Amino acid sequence: TIKLTIDNKVLEVAKGTTILKAAKEAGIHIPTLCYLHLHDLNIENKPAGCRVCVVEVAGRRNLAPACVTECTEGMVVSTHNIRVLNARKTVLELILSDHPTDCLICAKNGNCELQTMAQEFGIRKLHYEGEQSTYREDTSPAIIRDVDKCIMCRRCEMMCNEVQTVGVLSAVNRGFMSVVAPAFEMNLDHSVCTYCGQCVAVCPTGALTEVDHTNAVIRALADPTKTVVVQTAPAVRAALGEEFGMEPGTLVTGKLAAALRRLGFNYVFDTDFAADLTIMEEGTELLDRLTRHLNGDKDVPLPILTSCCPGWVSFFEHQFPEMRDIPSTARSPQQMFGAIAKTYFADKINVKREDLVVVSIMPCLAKKFECQRDEFATNGNPDVDFSISTRELAHLIKQSNIEFNALPDEDFDNPLGESTGAAVIFGTTGGVIEAAVRTAYEVHTGKKLEKVDFEELRGMEYIREATIDFNGLPIRIGIAHGLGNARKLLQDIKDGKSEFHAIEIMACPGGCIGGGGQPLHHGDSSIIKARQKALYQEDTNKTIRKSHENPYIIQLYEEFLGKPLSEKSHHLLHTHYFD
Ligand code: HC0
Ligand code: SF4
């Protein structure tokens, strides 16, 4: 170990530890705008670009960036003497000199790390005149790039290249014009961007934000000719509370339903209902492929891959187009919900398709893109009209003078609001496949599961595998979250090395609980873990925990769909992929 002093505190740290990390261990928070450490993935962004973290090391002429300077024996560090503070202020002013000052109307207002720092450092005047670069704004179906606000922290680049291995974002140009952008500065929607939103989730400023549909939702709610239905994704209930000061991992399912009702939605439903429906379709598809495989059909594509995550769907469409027949053809719960709402439910309440507006609340930005895909519309009318993120919902609730924390717990409406524990865990990595196993096991073996908790499928390991015994038939299951990890499993399939029967993939680290539309977690994995725990808790609390036992799903098949993989199901609940 190494002994050193930081701000008069004597510390002992392991060799190779940076000053930034050593200080953190000692409870000293050195500010930075670019540094980001994803502990669990062992990926670190430290380009030493922003220089806000400079500190004084006794005996050295220049100030040292704490994020890349390693501790040495006997080092004496000062993190906030007058020289350091002046330098830090100068650095901040230089960054601000090339940054728009339209904070009041910026999408990140109140949530911007640069703004917060300018406030903390009492910056009142800019002493440097920069050349304000003016880039055009790039708007895609899900993400807006306002590149003038890019401070070259390169966190987005790390997320896109190292974590997701999509490789859309990289640094271009020099000097004042340097920004992070897609190759040839093309628009995001011409690139292979998956809209996973992981870049947005770590952007410290307003350079990357989501396309905001809050106003469209307000307009629909105010239109007396429209019946407005809302569905809310599993992961939202485990994170929305954070926007209202609650501890990460606080479940707010009942308050969420109550808030949506107060906002004026005519029917408050749950995407979880459609998650149960997904299991019926995808689980049947899995068993169907398995049976054909066991009967010697060599052409049947295995493993089957889950297909409910739209970031993941874009990823394999762009990156592995030759493998398009491997994923399940089942649409995502968001889209299944929309299709059922605009047919079965619209008929039930006697409302015309055009007069029914379906809004989804999602932890995800790719869902905004998914609901706009052409294949999910009938005569130009989309199955899901608007998708807003957990963060947008929080704004909507605040705008509407609803005191969220004081709301009573309410239930969802029926029939599309009833769900099982299997559906709730869709929101975490491992949850979709566990839900599928609960149903597929019982359907395949005809036996009742003694225990529905499959601990072997749970956890946060980025690539996991387990074998589940289907009454003598070993079913091999793979799980990956984060697209970089998914790529490894896909490559194995491509190389003929994969031994799995089924694989679950979620684009975002953690699954939807870590989605690009969730309250910002600044790379803190303990927040993701707390949300995960909350979803498993909700599953345990549910009386019904297997999708095929959801009484309203049973009713839907009896009244409308017939059986899983029926012609009607195929038409409404399945899709095909493109390259
Ligand atoms: Fe998910 Fe979903 S679980 S993708 O992770 O499958 O966004 O939460 O809504 O559609 O249900 C996100 C979360 C969903 C869908 C569901 C799936
Ligand atoms: Fe890359 Fe995802 Fe951001 Fe697209 S949304 S640029 S894929 S990190």
**Cα 309 to middle of ligand 1, angstroms:** 7
Q: Output 257 or 175, whichever has higher pLDDT.
A: 257
Residue type at 312 in one-letter notation: W
Look at residues 501, 519, 353, 518 and name the one whose alpha carbon lies nearest to residue 441.
Answer: 501
**So what's the pLDDT on residue 251?**
98
The answer to whether the bond into 310 is cis (omega within 30° of 0) is: no
> Does the pLDDT value for residue 25 go beyond 80?
yes
Whether 169 lines ligand 2, by a CB cut-off of 6 Å, is yes
Structure tokens given for 352: 């015309």
Our answer on whether the CB atom of 429 is closer than 6 Å to any ligand 2 atom is no
Ligand nearest to the CA of 390: 1
Domains and CATH numbers, the chain: 2-97 (3.10.20.740), 138-210 (3.30.70.20), 278-331+418-573 (3.40.950.10)
User: Which residue from 236, 278, 309, 518 has its CB within 8 A of the most atoms of ligand 1, so it is best to mutate?
Assistant: 309
User: Can you tell me the mean pLDDT for 382-390?
Assistant: 98
* Cα distance between residue 441 and residue 436, in whole Å: 8
pLDDT in tens, 34-57: 999 998 888 999 888 899 999 999
Q: CA 159: distance to chain centroid? A: 12
Give the SS3 label for residue 507: coil
pLDDT reported for residue 41? 85
What is the 134 CA–ligand 1 centroid distance (Å)?
37
Which residues are tagged catalytic?
Answer: 282, 285, 308, 328, 367, 370, 375, 512
What mean pLDDT comes out for the span 333-358? 98
Q: What gap in Å lies between CA 228 and CA 267, rounded to an integer?
A: 7
Sign of the C-alpha dihedral, residues 341, 344, 346, 348? negative
**pLDDT tens digits, residue range 427-449?**
999 999 999 999 999 999 999 99
* pLDDT tens digits for range 102-140: 999 999 999 999 999 999 999 998 887 766 667 778 899
pLDDT of residue 232: 98
Distance 267 CA to ligand 1 centre (A): 20
Closest atom of ligand 1 to 235 CA is: 8
Q: Extract the runs of DSSP E, i.e. beta strands, from 356-450.
A: 356-362, 377-378, 381-382, 386-389
Q: What percent of the chain has pLDDT over 70?
A: 99
CA dist., res. 574 & res. 576, Å (int): 7
Pairing mode, if any, of strands 9-13 and 2-6?
antiparallel
Q: Is ligand 2 within 6 A of the CB of residue 197? A: yes
Under a CB-based contact definition with an 8 Å cutoff, are residues 394 and 233 in contact? Answer: no
What count of other Cβ atoms lies within 10 Å of the Cβ of residue 147?
Answer: 19
Would you call the peptide bond into 415 cis, given omega within 30 degrees of 0 as the criterion?
yes
Q: Is the pLDDT of residue 202 over 80?
A: yes
Closest CA to 499 of 473, 543, 465: 465
**CA-CA distance, 548 to 554, in Å (whole number)?**
7
Query: What is the C-alpha radius of gyration for the chain, rounded to an integer number of angstroms?
Result: 25
- State pTM to two decimals: 0.95
